[in-house]
Amino acid sequence: MKGRPLLPFAITAIIGILLMVSLSFVGLDQRAEMNADEDGAETEEVTEFEDPIAEGQRLAEQSCIACHGGDLSGGAGPALTSLDKSPEEIINIIQNGQGTMPPMPLNDVEADAVAQYLLSISE
């Protein structure tokens, strides 16, 4: 073992252990800050959007295009470009699901914005 001194390996191991311990303390500190923010901060609930159709489009692009296609003309799910439903029916479907569609985690204001957008693009 003349050509392979043990010291560089020991130093690397010690540095690695110290790095792990210090990053653990940083993570614990960040976790404590996040918990304090959740406990003390009031969440701002949106009561309406300035432009509900634009917001509905943004939400639809995030939530709907995976199943209903990029232009919402159909994919794994049905087309959403020619709906013959009321806004209330659309909101109900969004929030509670229908058939194989799962419920979407949108609040009433967000679901209403999506419904307004879908009705605005319906033929």
Could you give the number of structural domains in the chain? Answer: 2
Residue 29 scores a pLDDT above 60: yes
More confident residue, 40 or 73: 73
More confident residue, 42 or 19: 19
- Neighbouring CB atoms inside 10 A of 115's CB total 25
Per the annotation, binding residues for heme c are: 64, 67-68, 101
Q: Is residue 47 part of a domain?
A: no
d(CA 58, CA 51): 11
Same domain, 19 and 77: no
For 16, the domain range is 1-39
113 touches 59 (CB < 8 A) = yes
Q: Is residue 20 part of a domain?
A: yes
Containing 52, the helix (H) or strand (E) segment is: helix 52-63
Per the annotation, binding residues are: 64, 67-68, 101
Same domain, 30 and 82: no
Residue 108 scores a pLDDT above 80: yes
Same domain, 71 and 105: yes
Could you report the per-residue pLDDT of 83-102, keeping only the tens digit for each?
A: 888 989 999 999 998 888 89
Q: Is residue 45 part of a domain?
A: no
pLDDT at position 1, please?
Answer: 52
2: tokens are 């003349």
Rounded to the nearest 10 degrees, the angle between the axes of helix 108-121 and helix 87-96 is 120
3-state secondary structure 80-102: CCCCCCCHHHHHHHHHHCECCEC
Same domain, 67 and 31: no
Residue percentage of the chain with pLDDT more than 90: 25
Residue 121 scores a pLDDT above 90: no
pLDDT at position 38, please?
Answer: 65
Please list the helix, strand and coil fractions of the chain in percent, rounded to the nearest 5, in that order.
60, 0, 40
pLDDT-based confidence at 15, cuts 50/70/90? very high
Q: Is residue 46 part of a domain?
A: no
- Neighbouring CB atoms inside 10 A of 91's CB total 20
